[in-house]
Amino acid sequence: MSVWTRHSRWVRGLTSRVREETRTRWHRFEALWRRSMQLRVVVSTLALSLAVVIVLGMVLQWQITSQLLDSKEQGAIAQADASLNVLERELTAVDPNSDSVSEQLEAALNRLTTSSSSGHTSETTAGAFTAVLVDGRAPGDRSKQPAAGPIGDVPEDLRGFVERGQLATKIHTVQRDNATVTMVIVGTPVSSATRPLQMYLLFPLTGEQQTLAGQQRTLLVSAAVLLALLGAITNLVTRQVVRPVRQAAQTAEQLAEGDLDKRMRVIGEDDMARLAESFNEMADSLKQQITQLEEFGQLQRRFTSDVSHELRTPLTTVRMAADVLHASREEFPPGLSRSTELLVDELDRFELLLADLLEISRLDAGVADLSAERLDLHEIADRAAESVRAIADTSGVELRVFPPPDGADLALVADARRVERIMRNLVANAIDHAEGGPVELRFGGNEQAVAVTVRDYGVGLRSGEAELVFTRFWRADPSRNRRSGGTGLGLSISLEDARLHAGALDAWGEPGEGSCFRLTLPRKPGKEPETSPLSLPSTRRIAAPEALLAASVERPSEGEGEQEVRDQGPARLTEESWEEK
């Protein structure tokens, strides 16, 4: 492996680590930004304050710069007027026919700047300046005009204004000693009896630039200090507001976890104190109501349990007497014999109701336990279906128990009695509402859980009823007769049994499309699965309404006369045929 290859890999690895670290830190900041109202208020205040400081700084900088330039230009013009009087006196002795005009102009500048210690520079109220004199006798060719001083620093457009007899000023930048120098240049014509002259005074802005730089540093330091103080003040003020809110949120979480004695501290008499007082009053009221509800629930559970136990003894006596009567029903008249059969049937239903009430009491009291063992969900469901097959045959309902897809493993550790009771209740409920259509049981499994769906194609459920089917004694249609002789507690008990296993029991239904119940159980009790291996049906629309009229009927064979023709229900075009897979 070459050195370049190792180096490129190292660079890619470093880039990847930096990118990952940046992404991690950004996600942390994003999460903190969403959770912390104090951070959002402080950052927003600092951002707005920074914008205001920048605008104010720009305005102040512009004002200071304008005032400095105006003062510099006024001083430069005043200095030009003063120097003009001196030059007019000094240039009266210039010989117009002499060939040494440049030397005479130099002499005039020397007399003008006698106060200068070096070159053609003089200290005035407008600051140091450099003077330039130009002989304007040949305006057409400026390169041949005699001049004294750094005439190359004077811009051409400014010289044009002065040659036309105008006083002109301009800010111009030149290069001197490998440095950039910005100057205010004032040009004015000089009145002379012998020849036309122009005078230019060059005032460097070095002092003003240093003054502006110092002011900029002062503004930056002041802005930084101001932002820091604003951040600290905003943080302090926001903390005073946010801290009681955080305490209220923390207290609410503790109340939700069951610590009903937790209260907020009340400090002072301001709005936050009134908020704390109101919160504490609400917590006291909630505690009182919850305590009353718990006491009422305990009394109700104790009453249900006591009544159920107390009814067992007289029920046993009545059961014995009813069995004796039922055994001798052949000796009774027809009306009395039928009454004996009805008595035994209602006693059976009464016993089921008492058993369900006792089970509900144990579940409500939290004393129900699991006798977990290893079992197969398909076998349990098949056994439960067989136990109610007689009811299905009486109702004309076909039970279809499909095998697991591709021989999927449906093994789990659960309470066989409770799982079988869930399946028996679901299948019996589906038979009651199948309206003669089939009832289908399908299975599925993944690494975490196993599931089974019980699907019927009967009356279905209206909107909102899927959440009510597990309510005790609730019935979608009170006028409907139960073929299975249920007590109205089966689905409620099934839901509690599923929760004991850390599983779930879900319901779906559409009017005219039937209903579907899905039982999802973890492979091991206590480990709640994230998802179910099976999905509930979705609401579908059929494109051809006439397809709903299709029916599967049995034609009578020839010579057998008229036979009963039973409609098997509308063709389910929206359902995929599992038998063809």
Domains of the chain, start order: 13-240 (3.30.450.20), 371-522 (3.30.565.10)
Amino acid identity, residue 5?
T
Residue with tokens 């409500």: 364
Q: Give the model's pLDDT for residue 439.
A: 92
Alpha carbons 79 and 97: distance in angstroms, whole number = 30
Q: Give the model's pLDDT for residue 96.
A: 52
Residue with tokens 């009087």: 85
| CB-CB contact of 152 with 143 (8 Å) | no
Between vectors from CA 385 to CA 379 and to CA 388, what angle results, nearest 5°? 145
Alpha carbons 82 and 84: distance in angstroms, whole number = 5
Q: Give the model's pLDDT for residue 581.
A: 34
Phi–psi pair at 366, nearest 5 degrees: 75, 25
Between vectors from CA 553 to CA 552 and to CA 557, what angle results, nearest 5°? 145
| CB-CB contact of 395 with 431 (8 Å) | yes
Alpha carbons 495 and 482: distance in angstroms, whole number = 20
- For the CA atoms of the chain, what is the radius of gyration? 51
Q: Bridge-partner residues for 121, per DSSP?
A: 130
Q: Give the model's pLDDT for residue 170.
A: 85
| CB-CB contact of 381 with 452 (8 Å) | yes
Q: Which residues contact 87 (CB under 8 A, 6 or more apart)?
A: 108, 112, 133, 190, 197, 199
**Packed helices 490-500 and 416-433: angle between N→C axes, nearest 10 degrees:** 140
| CB-CB contact of 80 with 199 (8 Å) | yes
Q: Give the model's pLDDT for residue 451.
A: 92
Residue with tokens 């110092």: 214
Name the token pair of 199: 């005078």
Q: Which residues contact 352 (CB under 8 A, 6 or more apart)?
A: 485, 487
Sign for the CA dihedral angle at 110, 112, 113, 119 comes to negative
Q: Give the model's pLDDT for residue 284.
A: 87
Coil, helix or strand for 250?
helix
H or E stretch including 455? strand 449-456
Round to the nearest angstrom and report the end-to-end CA distance of the chain.
55
pTM of the model: 0.45
**DSSP codes of every residue in 357-379:** HHHHHHHHHT-----EEEEEHHH
Sign for the CA dihedral angle at 92, 98, 99, 100 comes to negative
Q: Bridge-partner residues for 189, per DSSP?
A: 198
| CB-CB contact of 41 with 238 (8 Å) | yes
Amino acid identity, residue 432?
D
Helices (H) and strands (E) in the chain, counts: 11, 13
H or E stretch including 345? helix 334-365
Alpha carbons 58 and 62: distance in angstroms, whole number = 6
Blockwise average pLDDT, block size 10, the chain, 581 residues? 72 84 85 79 86 89 87 83 73 56 68 51 62 69 69 81 83 81 84 71 83 87 88 84 81 82 81 83 86 77 70 78 80 80 77 70 67 88 88 88 83 88 89 88 90 90 79 64 60 84 88 89 83 79 35 38 36 35 34
Sign for the CA dihedral angle at 457, 461, 462, 464 comes to negative
Burial 532-554 (b: 16+ CB within 10 A, else e): bbbeebeeeeeeeeeeeeeeeee
Sign for the CA dihedral angle at 526, 528, 532, 538 comes to positive
Alpha carbons 432 and 458: distance in angstroms, whole number = 9
Q: Give the model's pLDDT for residue 443.
A: 92
